[in-house]
A and B are shown apart, each in its own frame.
Chain A
Amino acid sequence: MSSEVFKDATRMSGGRASDEAIVTMEGVYKRFKDFEALKNINFQVGKQEVVVVIGPSGSGKSTLIRCINRLEEHDDGRIIVDGTELTTDVRNIQEIRKETGMVFQSFNLFPHLTVLANIALAPRQVRGMPKAEAEALARELLERVKIPEQADKFPAQLSGGQQQRVAIARSLAMKPKVMLFDEPTSALDPEMINEVLDAIKQLAQEGMTMVVVTHEMGFAKEVADRVVFMADGEIVEVGTPSEIFDNPKEERTQKFLAQIL
């Protein structure tokens, strides 16, 4: 983890992180039967960039990030993550999944394993890390998400916010180059949302590259380098938070923001 690297002010706003793109999507289409979930998506995420994807439900936000680590297979176009292209090559798929971490709306912790085992699982099984080392790493990560005392409990014994922080730690344990967040706070009770958002913010400050799908507009304003607005499977508008929130150009963006703000 390239830890204490804070974002510097020189970072390009409106972010075309040209030669340092970690995720590149080019002309990506995704269809479910006769429904087009993604239409001609062209999109890049630069190194250490935080991209927040917003939009009405059913607009294809989740599908977009689920295509990045091949939880959904795109039908057309190209997706390249950290120089590896997603093709039907099993090795590439595994490679990309190792380099991307994902946090789900419903946590998806493994209920039959302790918190510690949840976090240590992937490093041991995928990276072949010795058990002691993996558990040390797991404890360090729990420290970072501020719940070291929960290590030996089972997920069901934790609150939603705690579970989601464990899920973040679990993804970080693979030392990913990019983190994908799929509505990480939507399943949480209101009083727990902030603890999770704080953990994500902290990650952003440490320089993690992230794509975040969320309905938390305050969070988007505060943390995003770029905001992507999606509707009907298309990217409608991209810009800095101020561009999108204060000065939306497209009609659909204006309508959406008017409804939720």
Chain B
Amino acid sequence: MSSLPSAPAKVPIWRDVRVLRWLFQIAVLAVVGLIIYWIWGNYQTNIERSSVQTDLRFLDNPASFTIPGNDFDQSSPVRAAFVQGFLNTIQVALVGIFFATILGTLVGIARLSKNLVVRSIAAAYVEVIRNLPLLLLLTFMNLAVVLQTFPRIEDAWKPLDLFVISNRGLAIPWFEGSAGQLGLLVLAGIVLAIIVVKLERARADRVGRPSRGLLLGTLALTIVPVIGWITLGYTWTLPFVDGRGTSGGLRLDPSFFALIVALVVYTSSHIAEIVRGSILAVPRGQGEAADALALSNSQKMRIIILPQAFRVAMPALGNQYLNLIKNSSLGATISYFELTQIAQITVGNGSPAVPAFTLTLLVYLAISLFTSLFVNYFNRRLALVER
């Protein structure tokens, strides 16, 4: 092969792709390192100049504030306040996600309703709420609804005598007895429901007719806790006005109520759009194929459309959950004692700002990571089940 040089020419180092790739990366890394070094240097000099704490020792100082609705007292360490704040954030997140999902799904399906009135109202709801700032909704709930419109405790509203609504908060009927036992009963219900569904599926496969697993499962899920609760000798209690407060039932802090409502309303408007979009994203041919197989309308929705729509919706739903968790930090603006509010107060009381807020950010980051891991896991499960 005369045209072939005997050995490849040596590549000059400044033109070698491999060298260039690494050089470029090292250069970028150096720039990033320089920026971090600059910030860190500034931090060190500024810390020295103002002699504030940089470590987490402040967590052991007494908190010197109280958290309403809690046995937490002024001498407890800041650490305990942070833990309580974390628990409150989780509480808001769980309750908020639960209701936002239900409301959002309903509104999303309603937007596709064949009924003109239902469709229009759902659309108006979504279009109005989605285009307002969350903080505005929250301020509205707090200043206008709770503080201005809700009556004083003396003339509290008592719809159906089940609720007590006043500017002191909202009281709802609640179970009497230990939360642990209730949890166990619900768990038992879930286990039983799973067993029932499995058995029913197997039976349906044998006998050869559509499974009624969903119906029976739901029944098992509700009946077990209710019967168990009654046989254990517990009932529920209704709230009533007791002097300047309420007794019985479960009392919800006004700020908790305002925060939950604002978060649920705001997030549900976004979830509704996701649900609607995902249902529309299922190819029309799927519905037609189901019709061609003579499935009923509800079978078509349940077996064909919704599982596919849910898979499409899952990542976006996960994002909304993350948003809701992060948005719960706005509770601080209406003095709901969640994580951010705790951080803000302790910093106001003299805890060092940088470590306190960094800690707060890390906790949110951890919650976000955990949530996305969970969503991803669920997502993968769904994807696998589909295939």
A18 located at the interface, meaning its Cβ lies under 8 Å from any Cβ of chain B in the complex: yes
Q: Is the interface of A mostly helix, strand, loop or mixed?
A: mixed
CA distance A78 to B5 in the complex (A): 10
Contacts of A78 in B (CB 8 A): 4, 8
Chain B proximity mask over A28-46: 1 for CB below 8 Å, otherwise 0? 0000000000000000100
Interface stretch (choices B9-17, B62-70, B196-204): B9-17
Contact present for B4 and A26 (CB under 8 Å): yes
How far is the CB of B338 from the nearest CB of chain A, in Å?
47
Contact present for A90 and B20 (CB under 8 Å): yes
Contact present for A88 and B1 (CB under 8 Å): no
In the complex, the chain B residue whose C-beta lies closest to that of A78 is B8
Could you say which of A44, A83, A89 contacts B15, with CB atoms under 8 Å apart?
A89
How far is the CB of A98 from the nearest CB of chain B, in Å?
16
Contacts of B15 in A (CB 8 A): 89-91
Contact present for B3 and A85 (CB under 8 Å): no
Contact present for B1 and A85 (CB under 8 Å): no
Contact present for A88 and B17 (CB under 8 Å): yes
Within 8 A of B (CB), among A1-59: 18-21, 24, 26, 44
In the complex, the chain A residue whose C-beta lies closest to that of B17 is A88
Could you say which of B1, B9, B17, B18 contacts A26, with CB atoms under 8 Å apart?
B1
Known: A24-B3, A44-B1. A85 touches B8 (CB 8 A): yes
CA distance A83 to B1 in the complex (A): 12
B2 located at the interface, meaning its Cβ lies under 8 Å from any Cβ of chain A in the complex: yes
Contacts of B11 in A (CB 8 A): 87-89, 92
Chain A residue total in the interface (Cβ 8 A): 18
A257 located at the interface, meaning its Cβ lies under 8 Å from any Cβ of chain B in the complex: no
A80 located at the interface, meaning its Cβ lies under 8 Å from any Cβ of chain B in the complex: yes
Contact present for B17 and A89 (CB under 8 Å): yes
A93 located at the interface, meaning its Cβ lies under 8 Å from any Cβ of chain B in the complex: yes
CA distance A19 to B2 in the complex (A): 6
CA distance A219 to B187 in the complex (A): 71
CA distance A69 to B18 in the complex (A): 17
Contact present for A21 and B8 (CB under 8 Å): no
Chain B proximity mask over A143-173: 1 for CB below 8 Å, otherwise 0? 0000000000000000000000000000000
Q: How large is the interface on B (under 10, 10 to 19, 20 to 34, 35 or more residues)?
A: 10 to 19
In the complex, the chain B residue whose C-beta lies closest to that of A83 is B3
Most chain B beta-carbon neighbours within 10 Å: one of A20, A26, A88: A88
CA distance A169 to B18 in the complex (A): 33
CA distance A221 to B322 in the complex (A): 62
Contacts of A90 in B (CB 8 A): 15-17, 20
Contacts of B17 in A (CB 8 A): 88-90, 93
Contact present for B20 and A24 (CB under 8 Å): no
In the complex, the chain A residue whose C-beta lies closest to that of B21 is A88
Chain B proximity mask over A70-102: 1 for CB below 8 Å, otherwise 0? 000000001010010101111111000000000
CA distance A80 to B9 in the complex (A): 11
Contacts of B12 in A (CB 8 A): 89
CA distance A87 to B16 in the complex (A): 8
CA distance A24 to B4 in the complex (A): 8
Contact present for A24 and B1 (CB under 8 Å): yes
Contacts of B8 in A (CB 8 A): 78, 85, 87
Could you say which of A21, A87, A92, A93 contacts B3, with CB atoms under 8 Å apart?
A21
Contact present for B5 and A88 (CB under 8 Å): no
How far is the CB of A175 from the nearest CB of chain B, in Å?
21
Contacts of B2 in A (CB 8 A): 18-19
CA distance A21 to B4 in the complex (A): 9
Could you say which of B9, B16, B18, B20 contacts A85, with CB atoms under 8 Å apart?
B9
In the complex, the chain A residue whose C-beta lies closest to that of B14 is A90
In the complex, the chain A residue whose C-beta lies closest to that of B1 is A24
Contact present for B16 and A89 (CB under 8 Å): yes
How far is the CB of A208 from the nearest CB of chain B, in Å?
19
Contacts of A87 in B (CB 8 A): 8-9, 11
CA distance A131 to B18 in the complex (A): 34
Contacts of B20 in A (CB 8 A): 90
How far is the CB of B306 from the nearest CB of chain A, in Å?
35
Q: List 28 A-B contacts (CB under 8 A).
A: A18-B1, A18-B2, A19-B2, A19-B3, A20-B3, A21-B1, A21-B3, A24-B3, A24-B4, A26-B1, A26-B4, A78-B4, A78-B8, A80-B3, A83-B3, A85-B5, A85-B8, A85-B9, A87-B9, A87-B11, A88-B16, A88-B17, A88-B18, A89-B17, A90-B15, A90-B16, A90-B20, A93-B17
Given contacts A18-B3, A20-B3, A78-B4, 13 further A-B contacts (CB under 8 A): A18-B2, A19-B3, A24-B1, A80-B3, A80-B4, A80-B5, A83-B3, A85-B8, A87-B9, A87-B11, A88-B11, A88-B18, A89-B16
